[in-house]
Structure 1
């Protein structure tokens, strides 16, 4: 099948988390002017598109994913004029800018919700999802069903004013919008989508793009974790009955009118549903984020339930994320870090071989099919927060709620300290806070992120892991990323658009795969990655003339791979 080569398919996208990126005025919080000051650095890295995480006016209960006003910039980040300057400065450098589109829910401080909760007869009452309480046999008020919030506890929040609950799949201050209401949808399209497209943004990353449609009977969900009071609602709230209808409508009414890039955060779904979301003929979104490889080892119903992973698990997950589009007109994404994930070099690498592992992950990412996404700090191999930091250093509402729920449940147990240590190990490995520490620009105080007091603590390793030192070092992770991105674009037929074939599926130490295009006689890309901290044997699993194009070691041993060694060959 001939694939249309849209600009967003060949682009390298760089995600910016504004609060932690670059502070221009010394108030300890990153801002839009800080972003603008680094655009030349990003262009030099090879970035084509910047994805700016939520910069809308917000109470910041969930770092901007609780939007108070879609049409206004959060004052600590800057002004609407600053945003317009960022749009223009990106465009003047031949780069594009996409924003985070947060439309499953708003902040409880949004004017729409203030009206909705004011009375049962308010015209905007039905803009959100309200239900009366249930009562148990003892007459105790209970939520309408047993759905769990993604941020712990019930997904329902009681509101005394009208004696009803509103649905909030995330924080209590993030009420879910009612997408069943056409008037609500049209208001979303106008205020959240069209407003910014008309100002020149080039598209959106669409937050929680599989959650807008809920099963309208709102039944209790099956019990998966018997020890928990509330259960995952995914059966009735994810990839719901009208979700594709809603995405088609948004495309038809708004995004199709612009040359806009749309990438949806869907997370988990069947191949059939995935193709409905991103097949070109379906007219919904351009591409999507699937979580198979980044959640490897986690229970898909609860990311905090982590049981470790094997390389074969990772290979299968990579294959699912990349290959679901094979033979179709759909498109995919490549990512291994974002604002909701730990640092990839900690999650999938080895501290002793940090630089080598980071370069291996760079080769992995730049040789997989789909649009490449890089998260701020990934290009210098920033690491997770130190294990000896206490829970008090963590800022994310998801982490804080989980710890509080755990302490309420087990705080009086005689073995609480032992259980707490185990939980902190998982928090340190998986918590969203790990990717939200300030970007490490140089070795000056606070890593050059701010001249003030940073809103969240800087990782102490900034004196050795920072942008400035890596720019000067030709063998740095940063310069390796630059080279990897250049090679990806030079061999885009294979690396961006090629099909994948895994050659050593059962091997628990190496990951070897081919990238091929439709012409079987044309050259192939041959990638071998040693995911272990041991030296392993190397043998070529196919015949042909091998040309080494990229490696993360200086001297190649034709019989051995060193720990976390990676190679990219072109084979005729």
Structure 2
């Protein structure tokens, strides 16, 4: 179906003819678990995680209590960016298995009551995808306009000839040429990841047909990689990033996607859009159920707070007050329209306990604290593999240990500029995406029980003490705490749906907020420091006589919190908290 320029975006009036259900969506009480397949579990000894390994660990998902498993890309790929460069959207990469194995995994998850979400990367493809191979073969190719091409610019002898000076997210220019012509193609990521031209209706047709094929196969939705990048500003090129993020066509594209792919399906589906740079106001539009665009977005504001002015590798200290202001703004901004995704870590971020906690002195306590704070916010929590046992950053000391294209390219670029190797390695130790990509630590044995072969990336040495086997039997472990948090979200409407209110927003170490639904109220307090902290509001009615629902230190009483302690207290009766402690 060629919708082309005749496609008309749904107006609010159009949407109102299909009223939003009064009942909360199923995903408001759900918890999602992200699997990064190549690092999860290896079933055949080749050192790379695979579908067989995931199938072997389904009991882990059930034991944890999660509702959804999100798989990072498993499609056929040259693996330039670990699968985010897709060469065939309808095939499984042999590294991970076969389509039959995928179908078996999907069926087994469904039998156990768990949904499966696919990672969808459609801002760009691999340069080895048949579409780009044809598009790049000649300027006259019928698929030429499936990608973004521009003429170069003569800036004089020795100057770069790219159409503009946009930079790739993985270092270097965002434009490259092919041998067939002097035109440049756009790649906001690696040169092997050319950007699709979503203004071409044939591109949208092909993408929507592919998505429909996966839904017909039984998958339960998609997490959409950098989906706000699909709408570039048309016309003359500009030199700022606003020209390639969240362009004016983005809402039309997403509503068309909803109408052609998701609408009318008798299934409980979920759509999540990763959207760097979006604001709260943007997110309200994207996730307002009446607009039929997305169910929730991954925003980056809170995980960008400790980035310096130069780049993410320019590490700066995080001020807790800034983090509280950011998360409160998103909680309040999406309170009456839209929905939050709750995360501190994923395959693109460092390990949460190393970044936000104290992985040396209070690893268990700080991991449990941040899990508590995150899961008690309003939204859908995302658990990244390994966080449920408090896995730490990798601790690599040599560039040869890294596998991530972003880290390797940045290191090479900065070394060429003359920066000291030790300085760059320290930045990578803190920031590299590979910190999150070391194998899941299942046991204390060889290669952490991840593989019988040589792992594709080194296992973190502390697996002898930090592993799933140990956590299963250890009273008060991080894993046990995650189980309890997930069970609480499933059983408590106020946790899932209650209104959020931040308390003590300017306190440098106390993270405190309430959740309210009707007469039900809970208080969440956390000491984000290595020192004891007196919290007078714990002495106030109704919290002093309230019920401790869950805490990082079981049986704790009184108003003094231990280092990295968090408590969740149910009010003994519906009363107001002192006004001077409200945000």
TM-score in terms of structure 2 length: 0.91
Using the TM superposition, give the Cα deviation of residue 4 of structure 1 relative to its aligned residue in structure 2, in angstroms. 3.0
Using the TM superposition, give the Cα deviation of residue 554 of structure 1 relative to its aligned residue in structure 2, in angstroms. 3.7
Per the alignment, residue 163 of structure 1 pairs with 182
Distance 1:301 1:107, change over 3 A: farther
Deviation string, structure 1 residues 98-133 (Cα, Å, up to 9, x no partner): 100100000000000000000011100000001111
CA distance in 2, matches of 1:498, 1:101: 31
Instruction: State yes or no: 1:366 paired with 2:339.
Output: no
The 5 Å alignment of 1:305-316 reads 305-316=314-325
Structure 1 stretch 555-564 or stretch 257-266: which is displaced more? 555-564
Distance 1:444 1:261, change over 3 A: same
Per the alignment, residue 398 of structure 1 pairs with 406
Deviation string, structure 1 residues 13-49 (Cα, Å, up to 9, x no partner): 1000000000001010000011011111111101111
Does the Cα contact within 8 Å between 2:139 and 2:180 map onto a contact in 1? Answer: no
Identify unmatched segments of 5+ residues in structure 2.
Answer: 1-19, 574-583
Equivalent of residue 522 in structure 2, options 522, 525, 536: 525
Equivalent of residue 221 in structure 2, options 183, 203, 207: 203
CA distance in 2, matches of 1:161, 1:327: 53
Using the TM superposition, give the Cα deviation of residue 218 of structure 1 relative to its aligned residue in structure 2, in angstroms. 4.5
Using the TM superposition, give the Cα deviation of residue 296 of structure 1 relative to its aligned residue in structure 2, in angstroms. 2.0
Distance 1:432 1:143, change over 3 A: same
Using the TM superposition, give the Cα deviation of residue 425 of structure 1 relative to its aligned residue in structure 2, in angstroms. 2.5
CA distance in 2, matches of 1:323, 1:215: 30
CA distance in 1, matches of 2:339, 2:326: 17
Distance 1:432 1:141, change over 3 A: closer
Using the TM superposition, give the Cα deviation of residue 549 of structure 1 relative to its aligned residue in structure 2, in angstroms. 1.1
CA distance in 2, matches of 1:467, 1:115: 47
Deviation string, structure 1 residues 133-165 (Cα, Å, up to 9, x no partner): 111133755100111111111111122321111
Distance 1:100 1:513, change over 3 A: same
Per the alignment, residue 415 of structure 2 pairs with 407
Per the alignment, residue 444 of structure 2 pairs with 443
CA distance in 2, matches of 1:433, 1:385: 7
Instruction: State yes or no: 1:109 paired with 2:128.
Output: yes
CA distance in 1, matches of 2:27, 2:555: 36
Per the alignment, residue 274 of structure 1 pairs with 283
CA distance in 2, matches of 1:241, 1:301: 28
Using the TM superposition, give the Cα deviation of residue 303 of structure 1 relative to its aligned residue in structure 2, in angstroms. 2.2
The 5 Å alignment of 1:110-259 reads 110-138=129-157, 140=159, 142-191=161-210, 193-221=211-239, 233-258=240-265, 259=267
Secondary structure of the corresponding residue to residue 312 of structure 2: strand
Does the Cα contact within 8 Å between 2:35 and 2:70 map onto a contact in 1? Answer: yes
Instruction: State yes or no: 1:14 paired with 2:26.
Output: no
Secondary structure of the corresponding residue to residue 536 of structure 2: coil
Secondary structure of the corresponding residue to residue 114 of structure 1: helix
Does the Cα contact within 8 Å between 1:146 and 1:220 map onto a contact in 2? Answer: no
CA distance in 1, matches of 2:234, 2:277: 21
TM-score in terms of structure 1 length: 0.93
CA distance in 2, matches of 1:48, 1:270: 28
Per the alignment, residue 350 of structure 2 pairs with 342
Q: CA RMSD in A?
A: 1.6
Per the alignment, residue 558 of structure 1 pairs with 558
Secondary structure of the corresponding residue to residue 141 of structure 2: coil
CA distance in 2, matches of 1:147, 1:257: 40
Does the Cα contact within 8 Å between 2:397 and 2:425 map onto a contact in 1? Answer: no
Per the alignment, residue 84 of structure 1 pairs with 103
Using the TM superposition, give the Cα deviation of residue 8 of structure 1 relative to its aligned residue in structure 2, in angstroms. 1.9
Using the TM superposition, give the Cα deviation of residue 315 of structure 1 relative to its aligned residue in structure 2, in angstroms. 0.4
Deviation string, structure 1 residues 371-421 (Cα, Å, up to 9, x no partner): 1110100100000011x52121111001111111101111xxxxx43xx43
CA distance in 2, matches of 1:189, 1:169: 22
Distance 1:300 1:369, change over 3 A: farther
- The total of aligned residue pairs comes to 547
CA distance in 2, matches of 1:454, 1:66: 22
Using the TM superposition, give the Cα deviation of residue 217 of structure 1 relative to its aligned residue in structure 2, in angstroms. 2.4
Deviation string, structure 1 residues 286-305 (Cα, Å, up to 9, x no partner): 11111122222225884223
Identify unmatched segments of 5+ residues in structure 1.
Answer: 222-232, 411-415
CA distance in 2, matches of 1:236, 1:4: 38
CA distance in 2, matches of 1:163, 1:342: 40
